[in-house]
């Protein structure tokens, strides 16, 4: 739907297409960092940045960018006051990150009194794909871009527990019904009608099926396809495993108010045990050796890019 003028090669998109990636690794702007307590976090950050950059160079050296720019940035949230771009990875602290962005943007006084629904359905934050091409291009080039990731199996199990083990008016009827219908032999009428009670093994059968009865979902989509880390040059790579210190260091980097700290609370199902390596192990026991291997293969790029060890 772009006008002919926008389609012309001198548009920002024209400059993006056919570019060999990844772009150069720029040093982080550390003007706002005043004390030495961040030394270890900073050193971990530099390692992650150069690791990802080297990986992308190797992996991407012969690939040209064919994806439309607007699609590439569709998961990226914009905070214009502190010039932050945050790519949302569900199940890696994204609800609390959106709360923080709302505070940075002046939309709320504190992250602690913003409800889950307000965060996810309130439409308070703009995404990068809502700007015109010049707006997208300018922000990509001048804002501090961050992504927060998580061990792929932990993220997957966390998504399954959240969406299928608790009542859910969207995931049960939309995904649950289709999954039970296709992968459960002799399913009873109740299960087929409600879509509740999906088993982890059935969920994995759906995930690995090239003819899925329903499409993918951002909660279990690979990070490589949500945020395109080899095409967009992220300045900061946070990890869920070190979420608080990474997040608080990042807030210092972008000059956030001194009293703004990343919230510690668990967004939903707060009485549930957090999804840990041990919890994951219990779920993986339900799968055959082949299913476990194929699930790992499915997230292979995410494991490689962010230097996670295979389970």
Least confident of 17-31, 82-96, 270-284, 292-306: 17-31
Q: Which residue has the higher pLDDT, 27 or 195?
A: 195
pLDDT tens per residue, range 27-52: 888 888 877 889 999 999 999 999 99
Q: What mean pLDDT value characterizes the chain?
A: 88
CB 67 within 8 A of CB 230: no
Give the pLDDT mean for 66-91: 92
20 has pLDDT over 50 = no
Instruction: For residue 67, name the pLDDT band (cuts at 50, 70, 90).
Output: low
Instruction: For residue 114, name the pLDDT band (cuts at 50, 70, 90).
Output: confident
Q: Which residue has the higher pLDDT, 198 or 2?
A: 198
Give the pLDDT mean for 271-288: 92
Give the pLDDT mean for 207-224: 96
Cα 243–Cα 248–Cα 249 angle in degrees, nearest 5: 100
Instruction: For residue 269, name the pLDDT band (cuts at 50, 70, 90).
Output: low
pLDDT at position 18, please? 43
Instruction: For residue 81, name the pLDDT band (cuts at 50, 70, 90).
Output: very high
Instruction: For residue 260, name the pLDDT band (cuts at 50, 70, 90).
Output: very high
pTM comes to 0.89
pLDDT at position 15, please? 47
Cα separation, 158 vs 244, in Å, equals 18
Question: What residue spans define the domains of the chain?
Answer: 36-153+219-275
210 has pLDDT over 60 = yes
The 3-class secondary structure across the chain, one letter per residue, is CCCHHHHCCCCHHHHHCCCECCCCCCCCCCCCCCCHHHHHHHHHHHHHHHHHHHHHHHHHCCCECCCCHHHHCCCEEEECCCCEEEECCCCCCHHHHHHHHHHHCCCCCCHHHCCHHHHHHCCCCEEHHHCCHHHHHHHHHHCEEEEEECCHHHHHHHHHHHHHCCCCCCHHHHHHHHHHHHHCCCCCHHHHHHCCCCCHHHHHHHHHCCCCCCCCCCCCCCHHHHCCCCCCCCCEEEEHHHHHHHHHHHHHHCCCCCCCCCCCCCCCCCCCCCCCHHHHHHHHCCCCHHHHHHHHHHCHHHHHHCCCCCC
Q: Which residue has the higher pLDDT, 30 or 279?
A: 279
185 has pLDDT over 50 = yes
């Amino acid at each position: 739907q772009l006008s002919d003028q926008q389609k012309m090669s001198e548009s920002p998109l024209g400059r993006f297409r056919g570019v060999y990636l990844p772009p150069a690794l720029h040093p982080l702007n550390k003007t706002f960092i005043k004390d030495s307590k961040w030394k270890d976090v900073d050193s971990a950050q530099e390692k992650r940045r150069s690791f990802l950059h080297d990986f992308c160079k190797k992996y991407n050296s012969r690939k040209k960018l064919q994806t439309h720019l607007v699609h590439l940035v569709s998961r990226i949230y914009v905070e214009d006051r502190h010039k932050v771009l945050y790519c949302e990875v569900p199940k890696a602290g994204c609800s609390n990150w959106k709360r923080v962005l709302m505070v940075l943007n002046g939309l709320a006084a504190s992250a602690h009194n913003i409800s889950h629904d307000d965060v996810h359905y309130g439409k308070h934050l703009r995404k990068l794909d809502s700007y015109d091409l010049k707006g997208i291009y300018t922000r990509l080039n001048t804002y501090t871009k961050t992504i927060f990731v998580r061990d792929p199996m932990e993220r997957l199990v966390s998504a399954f527990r959240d969406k299928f083990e608790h009542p859910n008016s969207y995931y049960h009827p939309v995904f649950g019904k289709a999954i039970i219908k296709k992968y459960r032999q002799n399913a009873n009428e109740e299960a087929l009608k409600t879509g509740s009670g999906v088993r982890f093994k059935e969920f994995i059968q759906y995930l690995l099926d090239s003819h899925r009865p329903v499409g993918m979902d951002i909660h279990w989509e690979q990070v490589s396809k949500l945020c395109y880390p080899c095409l967009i040059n992220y300045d900061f790579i946070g990890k869920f495993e070190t979420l608080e210190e990474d997040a608080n260091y990042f807030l210092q980097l972008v000059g956030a108010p001194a009293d703004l700290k990343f919230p510690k609370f668990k967004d939903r199902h707060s009485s549930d045990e957090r999804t840990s390596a041990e919890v994951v192990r219990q779920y993986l026991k339900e799968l055959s050796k082949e299913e476990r291997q194929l699930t790992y293969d499915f997230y292979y790029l995410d494991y490689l890019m962010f230097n996670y060890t295979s389970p």
